[in-house]
Structure 1
Amino acid sequence: MDTHVWLAYVVTAILFSLAPGSGTVNSISNGLSYGMRKSLASIIGLQLGLAFHIVLVGAGIGALVAKSALAFSIIKWVGVIYLVWLGIQKWRDRSSLIAQTGEGTKSSWDLMRNAVLINLTNPKSIVFLVALFPQFINPMQPQMPQLLVLGVTTVVIDGIVMLGYISLAAQMGRFIRSDRVMGKINKVFGGMFMGCGALLAAAKA
């Protein structure tokens, strides 16, 4: 893969990762609620889900999902239900100042599992990758090395961006001194999760 093509993809991948979505909401919410160290597990989870999508796209299955209305709809509605469920859980969260104490009701494993499911149940990522990858792959060169470069680049950049969101949110969490404020913030993020679910419900293949 030519350097200028890779650099163009880097810019595209950064914009893709910076775009607000359920992964972004999850990262900011976790950073604010659980602090930096504990929330790292959620970044791993998001990247595992993203890597799975990349593998599907590389194997050609992603193209089938993108073209199959039934497959897209099944994944989409599972994602919608899961995001709404997360939103309700966050809305009802009565946790105290978790960010200050460094403790929370969820384990690192729970945060990672939730993050994996958030990305796995987002068919828009598959459709986006199916549409994006061919633009940066030279058909005259071996495709697997190029897919590997694009996949690793995507995961690394998304991980860095999510780390930035979590770090910023964790810093903000240190200034929260009121349980009432934390409760309101939980409701805001609960609403955002449900909003992401609504947007996903409106998505079309």
Structure 2
Amino acid sequence: MSPEFLLTSLIIVASPGTGVLYTLAAGLSRGRRASIVAAFGCTIGIVPHLAAAILGLAALLHTSALAFHAFKYLGVAYLLYMAWMTWRERGALRVETEVDARSACQVTVNAVLINILNPKLSIFFLAFLPQFIAANEPHPLASMLELSAVFMAMTFAIFALYGLLAAAMRDHVLSRPRILLWLRRSFAAAFVALSAKLALADR
């Protein structure tokens, strides 16, 4: 495994996006456990895209405008839903003192859907992973699986770190309602901005 792959993956994973945003919100509003759950959910959410890239199904999204746009607008609608729920104090920044099994399940489902409903991820992995596999590689499928596993591990580790750092600031934020209100509005606006970016995305 090349250092170039590790460095590129680190930059990609650490770059702010919907997964990072949701994990930060989970850490701030629900604490350490929720941030780990959110990081896990976001990581699971990229599995279908990695599988699609490995199996070649992502080519369908690349070649079929109808499939791509249908998938894309589902993602846009879900991000707008997340923005609305966050604004109404029922979404990503809903404050909870304890994270029970039901709450953890909700955090996981939201995190998974945030990544699953982004068709750009499948196309990204289809273009990204083969660059780091040699043309004469005797077992390309095994190499793709190895690269995918490393990418997922980095995703979970980086997202969890983001979430734990946010959770460490939780008491400071919750004790200041005005800061929490400002953060809630900022996160809602960020979800809207990300939905607009996805809506404008092309194949």
Percent sequence identity over aligned pairs: 30
Paired with 2:58 and 2:189, the residues of 1 have a C-alpha distance of: 30
Q: Deviations over 1:26-68 (max 9, x none)?
A: 1111111111112222112111111111011101101221222
Contact 1:35 1:170 in 2 (8 A): yes
TM-score, length basis structure 1: 0.90
**In the TM superposition, what is the alpha-carbon distance from 1:94 to its structure 2 partner?**
6.5
Paired with 2:197 and 2:149, the residues of 1 have a C-alpha distance of: 28
Q: For residue 33 of structure 1, what is the aligned residue in structure 2?
A: 29
Contact 2:38 2:107 in 1 (8 A): yes
Q: Deviations over 1:97-130 (max 9, x none)?
A: 836x3458x7000000001100001111112111
The code of the aligned residue for 2:157 comes to I
Q: Deviations over 1:178-202 (max 9, x none)?
A: 2332222111111111111011011
Contact 2:130 2:144 in 1 (8 A): no
Paired with 1:144 and 1:112, the residues of 2 have a C-alpha distance of: 29
Contact 1:66 1:126 in 2 (8 A): no
Partner of 1:183, secondary structure, is helix
Aligned pair partner of 2:182 in 181, 184, 194: 184
Paired with 2:37 and 2:99, the residues of 1 have a C-alpha distance of: 14
1:52-91 pair list within 5 angstroms: 52-91=48-87
Indicate the RMSD between aligned Cα atoms, in angstroms: 1.9
Aligned residues: 199
Q: Which runs of 4+ in 1 moved over 6 A?
A: 94-97
Partner of 2:51, secondary structure, is helix
Partner of 2:134, secondary structure, is coil
Aligned pair partner of 1:200 in 183, 191, 198: 198
TM-score, length basis structure 2: 0.91
Aligned pair partner of 2:156 in 151, 159, 172: 159
Contact 1:80 1:197 in 2 (8 A): yes
- 1:143 and 1:97, CA in 2 relative to 1: closer, same or farther beyond 3 A? closer
- 1:58 and 1:24, CA in 2 relative to 1: closer, same or farther beyond 3 A? same
Q: For residue 165 of structure 2, what is the aligned residue in structure 1?
A: 168
Contact 1:93 1:186 in 2 (8 A): yes
Q: For residue 45 of structure 1, what is the aligned residue in structure 2?
A: 41
Q: For residue 136 of structure 2, what is the aligned residue in structure 1?
A: 140
The code of the aligned residue for 1:156 comes to A
